[in-house]
């Protein structure tokens, strides 16, 4: 599944949230700032030492001609704009409390397709109004059996940090949490429903897997009784910006959301290297936001990626930056994929209908916690569907426009595959665990893994021979034993055991 790209965002007149900026005093310079050179306006993430954003610090921004868009004083991060080409350097010189500043205009993200140009699978005729017979993925994790015991509580809210969701979709409308849904694409929360309507499709697909309501028609999600909040961080082109990612986690933490699904990677570099000053500022801002959300009770679930990479042993990156011309660079474990490799995040790899890892899914010992259905249209195709992908909701208006493999006869539903599809299955199971009364993110994470069905490394690795790492060309290697290995983590998530079945 394609997703999560770049593109400069219009900055216009944005409401300022967080600190009140009226009358913010300017800061007297202790060191002369470099001469200003005007350029095109850019957005910056500013990272402060000691997790502190003060009026004096913001005064330094305005003294340099910058404009404050939003502040997150809880984590010491500010989103600002400036047309000075030397703004980041000038701010670091003027304010010794700044530990990093990075322009984000080119820092878009994209979770790449599993292959460059996927040919359409044979069209599958709709099975009437009830499409659950096509949901091999739900049967595989025993979701229908779980629903008979506990379909999930409406007091549980999953925040789907994605491209928004189609709140008018008949399978989603009953479960949309309107009070907690928001757009963060500009780095500032906007709860206008038009702002968080999905104009890409990806967010509607992941939301349907999590919590599509059982209406007697269409599909049913992993946790059809819980609520889902659309937290829009990606635009119509599928690009996410660092300020949107930070805003999204801060929103989730502040609004009582228990689980977030994250089917994307952040920063234009597939591997965000902490030994690079600019990338380190982005990494640290996002890490702080995720950590803060976790401390507020949010479990963060994230996709591994579709590059067939061993995240535990990165050596080279040839795909980044994905918003311009990629360059080949040597990397190490100082470089990490965000958010999946941020401490405490549940990493999810993808498998297909036969239960073994999908050929495209990235993996790695310590990087993968669990595996879940993400589809495999090449080697794992259920006879009942003739399609190895995962079926879920899609904006009806976009079905013919952006859905690569629409469900014939049923607009508003689409086949897709990727770790983007696997992660929401795990998030849905986590929501079922929360529905049993477990509230600690650490306990939810532990139960999600302990209750998973262990899967050993494949005895025959030949199926992966033609799909080496996209980043460095290395062959895929599964390390570890039953119940703890780089392909499957602790095993496949199980919805039935999550509810005590």
User: Is the per-residue pLDDT at 8 higher than 50?
Assistant: no
User: Are 438 and 444 contacting, i.e. CB atoms less than 8 angstroms apart?
Assistant: yes
Instruction: Give all strands (DSSP E) within 267-362, no chain letters.
Output: 272-273, 299-303, 316-317, 329-330, 335-336, 346-351
Question: Per-residue pLDDT tens for 55-90?
Answer: 999 999 999 999 999 999 999 999 999 999 999 999
pLDDT at 258: 98
- Report if residue 289 sits inside a domain: yes
Kindly report, residue by residue over 229-257, the tens digit of the pLDDT.
999 999 888 888 899 999 999 999 999 99
Tokens of residue 449, six digits: 């893994």
With a CB cutoff of 8 Å and minimum separation 6, the contacts of 117 are none
Residue 128: pLDDT over 60: no
Assess whether pLDDT exceeds 70 at residue 107. Answer: no
Q: Which of 51-60, 85-94, 118-127, 163-172 has the lowest mean pLDDT?
A: 118-127
| Average pLDDT value for residue range 143-148 | 98
Residues, the chain: 501
- Specify the pLDDT at position 27: 35
- pLDDT band at 153, cuts 50/70/90? very high
Predicted local distance difference test score (pLDDT) of residue 2: 32
Q: What is the pLDDT of residue 129?
A: 80
**Angstrom distance (rounded) from CA 363 to CA 488:** 8
Average pLDDT over every residue of 38-43:
80
User: In the chain, count of helices (H) and strands (E)?
Assistant: 12, 20
User: 442-458 burial string, b = 16+ CB within 10 Å, else e?
Assistant: eebbebbbebbbebbbb
Helix (H) or strand (E) holding 8: none
Q: Indicate whether 162 pLDDT > 60.
A: yes
Looking at the domain assignment, is residue 82 inside a domain? no
* Secondary structure, 3-state, 349-380: EEECCCCCECCCCCECCCCCCEEEECCCCCCC
- Looking at the structure of the chain, the number of domains it has is 1
Tokens of 422: 């696997």
**Domain-embedded: residue 317:** no
Q: Are 415 and 385 in contact (CB under 8 A)?
A: no
In a domain, 491, yes or no: yes
Per-residue pLDDT at 262: 97
Query: Helix %, strand %, coil % for the chain, to 5?
Result: 25, 20, 55
- The region of weakest confidence among 10-24, 68-82, 262-276 is 10-24
Q: What angle do CA 54, 57, 59 make, to 5 degrees?
A: 110
Q: Is residue 432 part of a domain?
A: yes
- Domain assignment present for residue 333? The answer is no
Contact between residue 93 and residue 31 where contact means Cβ atoms under 8 Å apart: yes
Residue 425 lies in a domain: yes
Residue 364 Cα distances to 21, 430, 450, angstroms: 45, 22, 19
CATH code, 398: 3.40.50.200
Encoded tokens for 240: 């996410």
CB 126 within 8 A of CB 407: yes
Tens of pLDDT along 354-404?
A: 999 999 999 999 999 999 999 999 999 998 898 999 999 999 999 989 998
Residue 111's pLDDT is 54
pLDDT of 97 strictly over 90: yes
When pLDDT is averaged across residues 111-134 and rounded to a whole number, the result is: 54
pLDDT at 13: 26
Q: How far apart are CA 122 and CA 134, in angstroms?
A: 14
The residues facing 229 across adjacent strands are 159
CA gap 412, 392 in Å, rounded: 9
The span from the CA of 238 to the CA of 304, in Å, is 17
Phi then psi for 165, rounded to 5 degrees? -150, 155
- The mean-pLDDT minimum among 313-317, 413-417, 490-494 falls in 313-317
Instruction: Name the residue range of residue 469's domain.
Output: 132-268+277-306+345-449+456-498
Range 330-347 average pLDDT: 94
Q: How confident is the model at residue 108 (pLDDT cuts 50, 70, 90)?
A: low
Q: Partners of 234 in the beta sheet?
A: 240
Q: Give 55's Cβ-side CA count (13 Å radius).
A: 7
In a domain, 86, yes or no: no
């Amino acid at each position: 599944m394609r997703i999560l790209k770049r593109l400069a965002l219009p900055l216009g007149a944005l409401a300022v949230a967080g600190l009140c900026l009226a009358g913010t005093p300017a800061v007297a310079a202790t060191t002369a700032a470099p001469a200003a050179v005007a350029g095109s306006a850019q957005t910056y993430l500013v990272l402060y030492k000691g997790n502190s954003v003060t009026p004096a610090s913001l005064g330094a921004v305005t003294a340099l001609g910058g404009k404050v868009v939003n502040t997150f004083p809880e984590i010491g991060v500010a989103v600002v704009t400036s047309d000075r080409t030397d703004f980041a350097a000038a701010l670091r010189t003027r304010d010794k409390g700044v530990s990093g500043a990075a322009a984000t205009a080119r820092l878009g993200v994209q979770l790449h397709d599993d292959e460059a140009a996927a040919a359409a699978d044979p069209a599958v005729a709709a099975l009437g109004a009830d499409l659950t017979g096509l949901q091999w993925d739900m049967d595989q994790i025993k979701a229908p059996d779980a629903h008979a015991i506990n379909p999930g509580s409406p007091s549980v809210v999953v925040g789907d940090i994605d491209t928004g969701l189609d709140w008018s979709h008949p399978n989603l409308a009953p479960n949309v949490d309107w009070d907690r849904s928001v757009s963060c694409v500009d780095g500032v929360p906007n709860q206008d429903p038009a702002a968080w309507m999905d104009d890409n499709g990806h967010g509607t697909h992941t939301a349907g897997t999590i919590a599509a309501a059982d209406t007697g028609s269409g599909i049913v999600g992993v946790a059809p009784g819980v609520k889902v909040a659309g937290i829009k961080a990606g635009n119509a082109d599928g690009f996410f910006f660092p300020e949107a990612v930070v805003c999204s986690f801060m929103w989730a933490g502040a609004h009582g959301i228990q689980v977030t699904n994250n089917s994307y990677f952040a920063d234009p570099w597939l591997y965000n290297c902490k030994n690079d000053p600019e990338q380190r500022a982005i990494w640290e801002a996002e890490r702080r936001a995720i950590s803060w959300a976790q401390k507020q009770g949010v479990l963060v679930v994230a996709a591994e990626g579709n590059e067939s990479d061993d995240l535990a042993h990165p050596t080279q990156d040839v795909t980044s930056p994905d918003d311009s011309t990629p360059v080949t660079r040597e990397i190490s474990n100082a470089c990490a994929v965000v958010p999946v490799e941020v401490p405490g995040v549940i990493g999810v790899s993808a498998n297909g209908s036969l239960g073994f890892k999908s050929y495209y899914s990235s993996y790695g010992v310590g990087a993968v916690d669990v595996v879940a259905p993400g589809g495999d249209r090449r080697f794992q195709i259920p006879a009942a569907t003739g399609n190895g992908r995962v079926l879920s909701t899609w904006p009806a208006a976009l079905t013919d426009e952006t859905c690569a493999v629409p469900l014939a006869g049923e607009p508003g539903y689409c086949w897709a595959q990727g770790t983007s599809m696997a992660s929401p299955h795990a998030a849905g199971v986590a929501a079922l665990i929360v529905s049993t009364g477990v509230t600690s993110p650490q306990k939810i994470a532990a139960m999600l893994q302990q209750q998973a069905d262990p899967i050993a490394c494949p005895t025959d690795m030949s199926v992966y021979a033609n799909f080496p790492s996209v980043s460095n060309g290395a062959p895929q290697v599964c390390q570890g034993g039953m119940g703890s290995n780089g392909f499957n983590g602790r095993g496949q998530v199980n919805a039935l055991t999550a509810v005590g079945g």
